[in-house]
């Protein structure tokens, strides 16, 4: 499903050049649960953003479902992000003025899904993440764990082929962190493909597919 070959990413901040990824190869098959670990600053987020088409590699070949990302124009990339990728951020990135319902509904609006269908899907998915009683709450009226559930629901609502999560439990206390981890494990068991960055030492309890990144390379 994901084929990354010799991916390099160089950040150019004024005088200093930072090579965040140094020729990295990664192949992910459908139905896998990959956990990415590694020290801070090693390039995990950089990798994830490229995988989610939120950023472009400096060089290297990235194929998602057989399509070469380089060849896609902006509209096609937007559609890809909308339909095929569900991205979960460490700091949730919910729109503060919109309710949980409206946040989850947004990808469907961008996809042009009709009103009745939207309602059905949003309610189903919010129910699935256990938030059916918080639909009209705004992010600042929700706990961290609940916010992350909204973000996961938003990532899932368009039935993506792959779910990417960048430290989804990083901003949560251990209890809600555990709950969110369990949610991901259940999603995986339902057949979803998941890539997750985590610092959680118990990561290997959930999956044996561990990718360790250090200094922009897989070790």
By CB under 5 A, name the binding residues for Mg ion.
45
Is 46:4 a contact under the CB 8 Å cutoff?
no
Q: Name the residue among 67, 64, 42 with its Cα closest to residue 164.
A: 64
- Using CB under 6 A, which residues numbered 39 to 98 contact ligand ATP? 40-46
- Other CB atoms within 10 Å distance of the CB of residue 190: 8
Residues that bind other proteins in the complex, under the rule CB under 8 A: 49, 52, 54-56, 74-75, 78-79, 81-83, 87, 89, 93-95, 97-98, 102, 106-107, 109-112, 154, 158
Closest CA to 11 of 58, 70, 60, 69: 58
The site that binds ligand ATP (CB under 6 A) totals a number of residues, namely 12
**Closer CB to other proteins, residue 158 or residue 200?**
158
Half-sphere exposure of 212 (CA within 13 A, CB side): 6
State which residue, 13 or 71, has the beta carbon closest to ligand ATP.
Answer: 13
Give the per-residue contact string, 9-38, with ligand ATP (x = CB under 6 A; - = no): --x-x----x-x-----------------x
Q: Provide the token pair at 175.
A: 């209890």
> What is the spatial distance between Cα 214 and Cα 179, in angstroms, rounded to a whole number?
28
Residues that bind ligand ATP (CB under 6 A): 11, 13, 18, 20, 38, 40-46
């Amino acid at each position: 499903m994901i084929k990354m070959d010799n991916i390099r990413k160089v950040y150019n901040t004024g005088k200093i050049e930072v090579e965040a990824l140094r020729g990295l190869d990664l192949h992910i098959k459908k139905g896998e649960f990959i956990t990415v670990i590694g020290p801070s600053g090693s390039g995990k987020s950089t990798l994830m953003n490229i995988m989610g088409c939120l950023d472009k590699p400096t060089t290297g070949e990235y194929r998602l479902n057989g399509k070469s990302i380089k060849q896609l124009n902006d509209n096609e990339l937007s559609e890809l992000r909308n339909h095929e990728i569900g991205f979960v951020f460490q700091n949730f990135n919910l729109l503060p003025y919109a309710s949980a319902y409206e946040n989850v509904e947004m990808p469907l609006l961008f996809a042009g899904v009709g009103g009745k269908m939207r309602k059905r899907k949003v309610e189903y998915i919010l129910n699935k993440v256990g938030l059916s009683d918080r639909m009209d709450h705004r992010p600042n009226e929700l706990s961290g764990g609940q916010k992350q559930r909204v973000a996961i629901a938003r990532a899932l609502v368009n039935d993506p082929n792959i779910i990417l999560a960048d430290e989804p439990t990083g901003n949560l206390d251990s209890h809600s962190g555990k709950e969110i981890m369990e949610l991901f494990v259940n999603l995986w068991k339902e057949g979803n493909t998941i890539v997750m960055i985590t610092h959680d030492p118990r990561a290997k309890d959930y999956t044996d597919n561990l990718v360790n990144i250090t200094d922009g390379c897989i070790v």
